[in-house]
Amino acid sequence: MKLFKRRPKPQSSARAVSADGDAAADTDAAATQPSAGAGAAAAPASGPTAESQPAEASSGVFGRLREGLSRSRDQFTEGLASMVLGKKQLDPMLLEALEEQLIMADLGLEATDRVLESLRQRLDRKSLSAEETVITALKETLTELLMDQEQSLDTPQRRPFVILVVGVNGAGKTTTIGKLAHRYKQQGLSVMLAAGDTFRAAAVEQLQAWGERHDVPVIAQHTGADSASVLYDALAAAQARNADILIADTAGRLQNKSHLMDELTKVVRVMRKQDETVPHETLLVLDAGTGQNAVSQAVEFDQAVGVTGVAVTKLDGTARGGVLFAIAHKLKRPIRFIGVGEQPEDLRDFVARDFVDALFDER
Ligand SMILES: Nc1nc2c(ncn2[C@@H]2O[C@H](COP(=O)(O)OP(=O)(O)O)[C@@H](O)[C@H]2O)c(=O)[nH]1
Ligand SMILES: [Mg+2]
């Protein structure tokens, strides 16, 4: 356990993005440069890179998670440990300081309130003897909050199992689809991809590049084509080829937010003409780096298309990993995956206890 000095950080909102497509311009740019990026750039190797091998060998997969979460860990635990050092009880001043730290770690007000309330109840049940007790209780409380949403995606229920991937531009949809394609291929499943983001020029090519890399067929039309018709064709093709899994990309930005939500609703309606059970998973991709904005996006997408699972990406590039607690608390949908890097193996099943342990630098 590290002990940290208390060093308040300002809440930066440098990368704020709203579900409103228009405000997504900055992430849009982020998405487009490397995005030939997820496609052409840094072809993720299927094994660990030379650079990551020592960590992998020494501390295994948990080491990679820990490494990925280092910035969030600094933000998260900084102050917390030193604050409870020597404290025998959760006095009002300590509570207030904890509250401040949790908010700064991007938990948001509601999740922070919930955590403090549960912590208080937990601590009421036993008297404090050492610093470790407060930390342990806090960790248990945090794990419990996330545990409700720890539920991995069970794909073999249907064939083809259709995953519709939604989220604002730059959130990491296409990259996550590429990583998933890789993962399912590794499991010996037959995978197909649908290039439903027909709005942006680079989007189709980006998905095709992932498809080529992992030898996965991509159903696509030209840029500007009707997204619903691409997905309709893709579903027909997946059925005809008896594919195990079809993963559909969608646009993250249209003229405005209501266009985007209307388009997604239409896509679902059109696909259901073929199979009324689809999509079997509506996976919302959220960029952790957008902090509390990710929470409002979650609510809006859920209202429009009914989110059944969440992938939280870019946890490696941000100190705002605490937002995951806010998402879990607010959205109350399973968190399926977390992205902690750009390698295919950096998309991981979400495990609440591992996540909290990695935030507290343990194991
Ligand atoms: N570091 C890091 N970068 C990611 C992760 N997921 C996606 N990215 C990057 O985020 C950018 C936008 O991703 P993209 O998949 O194009 O987003 P989309 O617009 O939602 O399809 C790309 O440069 C990706 O390589 C992640 O987990 N970690
Ligand atoms: Mg994309």
Q: Each residue of 131-187: pLDDT tens digit?
A: 557 888 888 999 999 999 999 999 887 999 999 999 999 999 999 999 999 999 999
- Preceding amide of 8 cis, omega within 30: no
Q: What pLDDT sits at residue 82?
A: 67
Q: Each residue of 208-243: pLDDT tens digit?
A: 999 999 999 999 999 889 999 999 999 999 999 999
Q: How far is CA 95 from CA 101, 116, 132, 138, 323, in A?
A: 10, 7, 16, 12, 20
Q: How far is CA 317 from CA 227, 287, 339, in A?
A: 31, 10, 10
Atom of ligand 1 nearest to the CA of 338: 27
Of all protein residues, the one whose alpha carbon is nearest to atom 9 of ligand 1 is 172
State the pTM of this model: 0.84
Say how many Å lie between the CA of residue 65 and the centre of ligand 2.
24
CA distance 311 to 326: 14
Atom of ligand 1 nearest to the CA of 249: 21
On average, the pLDDT of the chain sits at 82
Q: What pLDDT sits at residue 92?
A: 85
Mean pLDDT value of segment 255-279: 92
The mean-pLDDT minimum among 60-64, 286-290, 307-311 falls in 60-64
CA distance 242 to 233: 14
Say how many Å lie between the CA of residue 172 and the centre of ligand 2.
7
Torsion angle of alpha carbons 147, 244, 172, 349, nearest 10°?
30
pLDDT at 9 over 80: no
**Band of pLDDT at residue 5, cut at 50, 70 and 90:** very low
Of all protein residues, the one whose alpha carbon is nearest to atom 10 of ligand 1 is 172
Q: What is the greatest pairwise CA distance in the chain?
A: 66
Say how many Å lie between the CA of residue 295 and the centre of ligand 2.
20
327: which residues sit within 8 A by CB, 6+ positions away?
A: 286, 294, 295, 298, 310, 312, 335
Q: What pLDDT sits at residue 146?
A: 97
Q: Each residue of 23-48: pLDDT tens digit?
A: 343 333 333 333 333 333 333 444 34
Say how many Å lie between the CA of residue 241 and the centre of ligand 2.
25
List pocket residues of ligand 1, CB cut-off 6 Å.
Answer: 30-31, 34-35, 37-38, 167, 169-175, 252, 285, 313-314, 316-317, 339-342, 346
